[in-house]
Amino acid sequence: MVVLGCVLLLGGLIALLAGALELRWRRRMRTGGVAVFARIVDRPLGPEDSPDGYRPMLAFTTEDGRAVEVFSPRRVAGEAVLVHYDPADPAQVLVFGSRGRADVAFVVAGVLACVGAVVGIVLAP
């Protein structure tokens, strides 16, 4: 039972760390990133693309005039969306309003796993 508790504790800590790092990155992008409007544009399908795996691109211009294209999490071509990009690496983009729930879910699952593991280890015969 103790070994299972230790494995659960390790998994919980990994999930907690992953979720916390994602939350931290999102906060850093919202506060330290540069906000610009990007246009969702179609891109031609390449030979390696499958039609069901198609994703359009986000196209925007940085403050210093560089044109950037990155994959878009949204699929409506022609739509303009607000993005926050990292000035040091403009390919790192957070789309405004795209609040992922995975980061919070990882934190909650990690906390629950850690608490369950500690309780299991303490109460193990």
CA distance 91 to 70: 6
CA distance 92 to 90: 5
Residue 103: the pLDDT is 83
pTM: 0.74
Residue 58: the pLDDT is 92
Q: Three-state SS for 91?
A: strand
Residues of the chain with pLDDT under 50: none
Residue 73: the pLDDT is 80
Residue 52: the pLDDT is 66
Residue 101: the pLDDT is 78
Closest by Cα among 61, 80, 77, 81 to 69: 61
Residue 115: the pLDDT is 92
